[in-house]
Amino acid sequence: MRSSVSSAAVLPREFEPPLVLTRTSGFYLRHGKRALDVLAAVLGMVVFGPLMLALGLIVRLDSNGPMFYRSRRTGRNGRIFTFYKLRSMAVDAHERRSELLHLNEVQGPIFKIRKDPRVTRIGGWLRRTSLDELPQLLNVLKGDMSLVGPRPPLPEEVERYEPWQRRRLDVQPGITCLWQISGRSRIGFEEWMRLDLEYIRHRSFGLDLKILLRTVPAVLSREGAY
């Protein structure tokens, strides 16, 4: 995708994030997007449900703890919701986070390290293939998330946002986004935020379709996934 929304690098240096406006008009944004979300989530649950359960059993056999990881995430307009993933870390991962903060490899309020000792054996593979994200289809069905939209942040991350970065909370968070197809963790935090604001400015059926179609090769390439 070589348009103005395909990469943060095309944004002018004088770009002022506070001027970004949220698109809300048009049939697709008012009705079509949610209808597409529900249809795709239902089909996804039917097709991938058995795989999700099989992977969940492997997660249970691989390490002590539940199949699913639940966490509090921030959604549209700051609403907190329960976010689902297949568990890829040890059950005490959150408690051990403070011990590893000095190893953080990502700018801003995000915490990520490539060789995270909290990740289980099967968890590393689940993360690289993005299969741990499958339970988020439940979030889409519940209306907490959309197929396409900014990734939902942790509440403590939002507390450290600058005012212009909070504009990414103006829309429903999503399973995939411009960040997901543009290198993921290889992209700096500010560029990630700017990509999200560019998506908000240009939201449309065409853009969502392009992102969905590019998500599959992006996931298969595993670029920036860890």
- Alpha-carbon span 125 to 121, nearest angstrom: 7
Q: How many other C-beta atoms lie within 10 A of the C-beta of residue 42?
A: 13
Q: Which pLDDT value is given to residue 19?
A: 46
Q: Which helix (H) or strand (E) holds 158?
A: helix 155-158
Task: Identify whether 226 is part of a domain.
Answer: no
Task: Identify whether 3 is part of a domain.
Answer: no
pTM (2 d.p.): 0.84
- Alpha-carbon span 214 to 41, nearest angstrom: 18
Q: Which pLDDT value is given to residue 114?
A: 84
DSSP 23: -
Q: Which pLDDT value is given to residue 5?
A: 43
DSSP-derived pairing of the beta strands 80-86 and 146-148: unpaired
Task: Identify whether 2 is part of a domain.
Answer: no
Number of structural domains (the chain) is 1
What are the average pLDDT values for consecutive 10-residue runs of the chain, which has 226 residues? 39 42 76 96 96 96 94 96 96 88 84 89 93 97 97 94 94 94 83 94 95 90 66
Query: Which residue range is the domain that position 50 belongs to?
Result: 8-221
Take residue 87 and report the two structure tokens written for it: 């568990």
Q: Which pLDDT value is given to residue 200?
A: 95
* E-strand stretches of the chain: 68-74, 80-86, 146-148, 174-176
